[in-house]
């Protein structure tokens, strides 16, 4: 089944601040079966008790999981689990993605990222890059609602005692926030713009580098004639640099600083890899995985291209060994 972005986001909106439909709530090293906890806490649904995530009253970014009911206009809570140990983000996102047709069942963030990257219907647009670089990729419009973000902690003050590892994950819901940078949904802490009670702009904090994983289900198809016209070696000159890019028919590209000697030469000393995307105007956008560099090739009336790197740096393109 092809991934359906709308279904994934609809599920997220329904379950963003309550336990998922499987009735499980995952902790760092354990799992809570919500109905078992309901019996333990004597909080039957027939008496109005509903499980949910709510902000802690101390005003911090932390939250807690409770059974809550409202009596006489006042909330009554029975604690399921406090902030310490809550770790439901990968589980929640697995349920969102499964609702969208991408059957995934992961409980840890690193495992979720690994599983997503291994899928044949995803493309990692950039990996462990700083916020400004990731924003550049998001601003291309290639990254869409339902696509995924992995948060790699780079701060000594960050998650889990500053451990340098993937520590959080979210699903992008699009540029629906006032700042137009894009918002995300997740569990622990619960977010869904504009309903969130905490920061829900996609970058969340300055503790992270970011990995953007895109579902390719609705990427524009490329006609065989266009593929033939752009496949192969190109030279790009910019800012006193010369690089050689090989474009593959499968939507990938790689570059090297070593000039090829023939059209069939295998690329050596690879410096970086990218995915490329064609739009209806004939423009080609490259997102370079290791850096988040965005290279846009714009066609002219004669079928030639000009290059703009990161929105401002011009580049000169030369087709090497053009097909005859």
What pLDDT score was predicted for residue 176? 81
Q: Is the peptide bond before 114 cis (omega within 30 degrees of 0)?
A: no
Cβ contacts of 315 within 8 Å, gap of 6 or more: 236, 237, 238, 295, 306, 307, 308, 309
pTM of the entire structure? 0.95
Residue 302 has pLDDT above 90, yes or no: no
At 179, list the tokens.
């700042």
In which band, very low, low, confident or very high, does the pLDDT at 170 lie, cut at 50, 70 and 90?
Answer: very high
What pLDDT score was predicted for residue 60? 66
Cβ contacts of 322 within 8 Å, gap of 6 or more: 232
Residue 222 has pLDDT above 80, yes or no: yes
At 97, list the tokens.
């993605």
- Mean pLDDT value of segment 219-224: 94
Question: Per-residue pLDDT tens for 25-79?
Answer: 999 999 999 999 999 999 999 999 999 999 987 766 689 999 999 999 999 999 9
Question: Per-residue pLDDT tens for 230-251?
Answer: 999 999 999 999 999 999 999 9
In which band, very low, low, confident or very high, does the pLDDT at 304 lie, cut at 50, 70 and 90?
Answer: confident
In which band, very low, low, confident or very high, does the pLDDT at 125 lie, cut at 50, 70 and 90?
Answer: very high
Helix (H, G, I), strand (E, B) or coil at 19: coil
- Looking at the chain, which runs of residues are DSSP E strands? 24-26, 31-33, 50-55, 63-71, 74-81, 122-129, 148-153, 166-174, 183-185, 208-215, 232-238, 241-247, 252-256, 270-278, 284-288, 294-299, 305-309, 313-319
Dihedral (CA of 181, 187, 190, 192) sign: positive
Q: Is the peptide bond before 194 cis (omega within 30 degrees of 0)?
A: yes
Kindly report the average pLDDT of the chain as a whole number.
94
Dihedral (CA of 50, 21, 124, 312) sign: negative
In which band, very low, low, confident or very high, does the pLDDT at 159 lie, cut at 50, 70 and 90?
Answer: confident
- Mean pLDDT value of segment 303-309: 90
Domain boundary assignment for the chain: 224-319
- Class of the CATH domain delimited by 224-319: mainly beta
Chain-centroid distance of CA 95 in Å reads 16
């Amino acid at each position: 089944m092809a991934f359906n972005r709308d279904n994934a986001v609809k599920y997220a909106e329904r379950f963003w601040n309550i336990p998922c439909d499987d009735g499980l709530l995952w902790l760092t090293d354990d799992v809570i079966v919500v109905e078992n906890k309901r019996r333990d806490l004597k909080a039957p649904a027939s008496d109005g008790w509903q499980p949910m995530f709510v902000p802690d009253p101390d005003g911090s970014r932390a939250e807690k999981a409770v059974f809550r009911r409202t009596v006489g206009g006042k909330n009554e809570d029975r604690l399921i689990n406090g902030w310490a140990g809550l770790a439901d983000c990968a589980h929640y996102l697995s349920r969102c993605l499964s609702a969208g047709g991408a059957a995934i069942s992961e409980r840890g963030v690193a495992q979720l990222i690994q599983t997503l990257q291994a899928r044949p219907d995803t493309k990692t647009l950039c990996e462990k890059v700083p916020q400004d670089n990731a924003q550049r990729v998001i601003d291309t419009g290639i990254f869409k609602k339902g696509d995924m973000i992995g948060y790699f902690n780079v701060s000594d003050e960050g998650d889990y005692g500053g451990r340098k590892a993937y520590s959080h994950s979210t699903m992008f819901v699009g540029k629906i926030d006032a700042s137009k940078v894009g918002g995300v949904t997740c569990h622990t802490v619960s977010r869904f713009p504009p309903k969130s009670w905490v920061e829900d702009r996609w970058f969340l904090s300055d503790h992270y580098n970011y990995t953007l994983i895109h579902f390719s289900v609705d990427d524009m198809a490329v006609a065989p004639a266009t593929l033939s016209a752009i496949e192969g070696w190109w030279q790009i000159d910019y800012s006193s640099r010369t690089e050689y890019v090989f474009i593959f028919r499968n939507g990938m590209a790689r570059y090297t600083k070593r000039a090829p000697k023939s059209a069939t030469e295998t690329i050596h000393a690879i410096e970086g890899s990218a995915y490329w995307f064609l739009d209806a105007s004939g423009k080609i956008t490259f997102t370079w995985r290791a850096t988040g560099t965005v290279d846009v090739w714009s066609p002219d009336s004669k079928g030639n291209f000009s290059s703009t790197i990161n929105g401002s740096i011009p580049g000169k393109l030369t087709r090497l060994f053009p097909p005859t």
